[in-house]
Every structure is written in C-alpha cells, then in structure tokens.
Amino acid sequence: MDTREKDIENLKDYKYGFTTDIENIRAPKGLNVDVIKFISNIKKEPKWMLDFRLKAFERFKLLREPDWQKPKYPKIDYQDLYYYSAPKSMKDKPKSLDELDPKLIETYNKLGIPLQEQARLNGIAVDAVFDSVSVATTFKGELTKHGIIFCSMSEAIQRHPDLVKKYLGTVIPTTDHFFATLNSAVFTDGSFVYIPEGVKCPMELSTYFRINASETGQFERTLIIADKGSYVSYLEGCTAPMRDENQLHAANVELIALDDAEIKYSTVQNWYPGDENGKGGIYNFVTKRGLCKGKNSKISWTQVETGSAITWKYPSCILRGDNSIGEFYSIAITNNHQKADTGTKMIHLGKNTKSKIISKGISAGFSDMTYRGLVDINSKAKNSSNYTQCDSLLMGNKCGAHTVPYIKNKNFDSNIAHEATTSKISEEQLHYCQQRGLNPEEAVGLIVNGFCKEVLQQLPMEFAVEAQKLVSISLEGSVG
C-alpha cells in the first residue's frame, strides 16, 4: 500500500465520526411555548427576542411540512427532539480560550481546527458552534481594531441589540417557510458579523459547526451585515458524529449587503452522510438567503456539498439594489445512499442586475442528485442578465441526476441563458490518464477535479485544498 492509498484508507471512513463525552444541559424534549421560553430564558434574552420567537412559533403551528422535494424522508416527529443542548461547562461562559473545557479543545483538534493555532498562525478568526452554543471566538482583538463585530448570536443580542433588531428577520422573516420559521422560533446560537462602513475585513472569518449530542436538532442562525463599501469573506464548515438515527439541521443564514458592499460566503459541508447502507446521517435543511439591498452590492455563494444523508437547500440572492450582482458556485457530490436537492434562486428586482450560476453535480453509488433553481427577472429589472450552467456527472447506473430549472422572464430588456449537460466520464479520458500511469481511481479523481475546477477556484486557498481532498474521498469506491 503506498502512502496515498493509506491516506485514503484512513480517510475513507468518516473521520469526523467521533463523539465527545461532555455533560450537556438540555431543554425538555418537545416543541412548545415553554421550551421556547426556556431557551430564551437560559440565554437571558430581552423581551423583544422572545416575542420574535413566539411570533414565529404561532405562525409555525399553521404551516404544513413541504413535500415537493425529490428526496423523500420518513416523517420527523418534531415533539421527539431536543431543541436545546449545551455543554454544561458553558453555563459560565469562558472569558478566553484558556478557560475552555479541555475536552472541547481536544474535539476541535480532532476536527483539525486547533483554535489557538488557527488564531495565531492562519490569521483566520474562528467562531465554533458546538451543538447549539457558540463556544469560542478567536482573534477578537484584531477585529475590534477595525470596528468589526464578529461574535456569537447570543452575545450580539446582548451587546448589539440595535443592530440585531434592525436586521434580524429582514431577509428571512418569521413568516417564511416551514423550516425557516421553525428556526426563527427555536434557534439557539450562531455567528453574527457586522462590517462597518468602508472597512475591508483584513482576514477570512470562519465558523465550524458540530452536532455532538444525539436526538438534537441543530438550529443555528447566522446574520452577516456588510455596511456601505465594505467587504467580507466568510467560511463555514460542518461535521457531526456517526449515529444510527437521522439528525435534523435546519439553520438560517441571512446576508445583507448595503451600497457597494460585497459578501463572499463559502461553505464546505461535510455532515455525516450515513453508512453505506443509507442508515443514519444528517438531514441538512438549511435556508440561506442574501439580500443585495444597496446599489452596486454583490453577494457570492460558494458551496462544496459532500456530506449529509439529505441535502435540501437553495442559497439565494435577492438583487434589489440597482447594478447588484449575485453569484452561485456549487459542487454537490452524492455517493452511496445520499440524496441532494439543491440549487439557487436569483430574484432580479433592481435595474442592471446580473447573476451567474455554475453548478456541478456528481452522483455515484445509489445516490440521487437534483439541481433545482429559479431565475426570476421582474418586470422592473431592466437590462438584467443571467447565465446558468449546470452540469451533471453520473457514475454507474444505480444513481440519478436531475435538472429542474425554473426560468421566468418578465422583462424584454433582459437576457437569460441556461445550459445543462449530463454525461459520464468517457472511456477515452480514462484510458488516456491510465496510459500515463494513473490508476483508475486517480484518473477519476483527476477528471472530477477538472470538472469542478470552475467552482474550486472560487474558494479561498485553505478551503480549496480541503475541498479538493473531500471531492476525491467522497467518490472512493465508486469506480469499477
């Protein structure tokens, strides 16, 4: 076995599949007003926040779970979940990294996010969310100098209530769809970012999410505000332990870009996908939406989706400001019994708005992958344009690849172009690579990386390396 093979052997099994024994505080099982009050109370939230939650819960009771998606799943009993779970030692929040529970730090080291090191060496500020609570935020001092606020959502509610009050729920209101509304009612923590006017954030901001406790739903809420003329690049990574039962992850992410601001949001999602028989794994039902509120603003989503039993999400851009730009770059890989129904929505409301969608889907094993996207050019969005390209690659005849684009053009000044192809890796390409000494798996890895290149290029350096590795690992065993 050469070293590369050994590497792969090590990585083949889900390397993040460990659990950490940490005492948890949990809210009572079930979903009701008392649980919501419990969450709000334990987080010492002001009354307006509790009202926000209760309003969402009232609305949630009227909603029906959607069922139009391609991957079907067994019914989730929302009363049989814990909506709050926090490591016990977090009750008295640590003031600095040194005070963190050593076990937690060990967990993060296993995950490959040594907080201290990352803080010192990489110059990436990390906010780690463990189960439901944000554990530590690194690099605070440096960011504060620039006036940047990067903290947990709970902290933001306490310390910056005006900002939270002003923007929370403006992109994903409490009256939104089923899962988003559920999140509004019970969200526990998440990251909050505010970049003040004219500031270019000097480093990448990063969050790691991890679900540790069993029977827990993770409902984090992220809010990023880029004030006039500012820029921020934000990274998000996710992992979870291996468990037999399915776990629900229903996060809400809201981005707001004011005049001339730019937000770049990158995700490498590697939740536990279940074993090769399709048992267990995370249900990743996330609502991500960005609002280009100001003129000349830009929001760009990049995602590498390799994990989760079911991925069901559509990071969207609402292009309200004139001349605003929305971008979506995605690689989604499904193997074994994984299922994905993902894509984006580009809603053009302002004049001269532009959007670009590049989506690459790869399915192998018994998996099923759907690209579903909406491009909607409103009658007022004069001179707008969209370009969409979605390509699918199939490996084996037990898997499926589907493309369901919705294209609505109500404006005669605007142009929409859409292209999609579905194909397999051709024998010639494989033969060519093998002739030059690569084994079949390496050849596939190379070709797939080439197939995904347009998207991988969009990722920040550190993530690109990780993502490239992930792409190869996810497809292990799918050749031949």
Partner 1 sequence: MKEQLKIDFEKIQKVSSFSNKDVETKKFYLDKFIKNGFPNRKLENWKFLDLEQIINKNINELSFYNDYSTTNKIDTSIFIGGLEHNKIIFINGRIEKIDFNYEDKNQIEIFDDFKIDYKFDNNNSLIDLNNAFSNKYFKILIKKGYTIKKPLIIYHLTNEKMKSKNINLRLDFELEQNSSLKLIDFFSDVSDTNFMNILYNFDLKKESILKNYKIDKSFNKNIKYSYNNINQEKNSISETFIFSASSDYFKNEINCNLKGEYSSAFVNGIFSLKDDKQHEIRTSINHLVENTKSFQLIKSVLGKNSKAVYQGRIYVDSIAQKTDGYQLSKAILLDETSEFNAKPELEIYADDVKCSHGSASGSLNENSIFYLMSRGLNYKESKELLINGFLLDVVEKITDAEIRNLIKNMIGLTE
Residue 315 and residue 140: Cα distance in Å, rounded? Answer: 28
Q: Is 358 in the site for partner 1 (CB under 8 A)?
A: no
Residue 271 and residue 281: Cα distance in Å, rounded? Answer: 8
Q: Which residues pair with 132 in a beta bridge?
A: none
Q: What are phi and psi of 127, to 5 degrees?
A: -120, 120
Residue 22 and residue 406: Cα distance in Å, rounded? Answer: 46
Alpha carbon distances (Å) from 186 to 57, 153, 435 = 8, 13, 56
Q: Is 47 in the site for partner 1 (CB under 8 A)?
A: no
Beta carbon of residue 433, minimum distance to partner 1 (angstroms, whole number): 18
3-state secondary structure of 48: helix
| Per-residue binder mask for partner 1 (CB under 8 A), 366-385, x = binder | -------------x------
Q: Is 362 in the site for partner 1 (CB under 8 A)?
A: no
| Per-residue binder mask for partner 1 (CB under 8 A), 413-452, x = binder | xxxxxxxxxxxx----------------------------
Between 399 and 452, name the residue whose CB sits nearer to partner 1: 399
Beta carbon of residue 392, minimum distance to partner 1 (angstroms, whole number): 7
Among 205, 401, 444, 475, binds partner 1 (CB under 8 A): 401
Residue 456 and residue 452: Cα distance in Å, rounded? Answer: 6
Among 47, 95, 412, 436, binds partner 1 (CB under 8 A): 412
Between 207 and 478, name the residue whose CB sits nearer to partner 1: 478
- β-bridge pairing 24-26 and 85-87: antiparallel
Q: 């690209």: which residue's tokens?
A: 371
Q: Is 353 in the site for partner 1 (CB under 8 A)?
A: no
Q: Which residues pair with 136 in a beta bridge?
A: 128
Q: In the 8-state DSSP scheme, what is residue 75?
A: P
Q: Is 27 in the site for partner 1 (CB under 8 A)?
A: no
Residue 302 and residue 310: Cα distance in Å, rounded? Answer: 19
Q: Is 214 in the site for partner 1 (CB under 8 A)?
A: no
Token pair of 47, please?
């009354």
Q: Is 407 in the site for partner 1 (CB under 8 A)?
A: yes
What part of residues 158-197 is at the interface with partner 1 (CB under 8 A)?
none
Q: Is 399 in the site for partner 1 (CB under 8 A)?
A: yes
Q: Is 115 in the site for partner 1 (CB under 8 A)?
A: no
Alpha carbon distances (Å) from 421 to 294, 391, 444 = 35, 5, 19
Among 21, 47, 67, 68, binds partner 1 (CB under 8 A): 68
Candidate ranges 40-48, 97-105, 347-355, 404-412; the one touching partner 1 (CB under 8 A): 404-412
Beta carbon of residue 97, minimum distance to partner 1 (angstroms, whole number): 49
Beta carbon of residue 346, minimum distance to partner 1 (angstroms, whole number): 14
DSSP H or E segment with residue 373: strand 368-377
Token pair of 72, please?
């079907």
Q: Is 400 in the site for partner 1 (CB under 8 A)?
A: yes
Q: Is 266 in the site for partner 1 (CB under 8 A)?
A: no
**Binding interface with partner 1 (CB under 8 A):** 68, 379, 392, 394-424
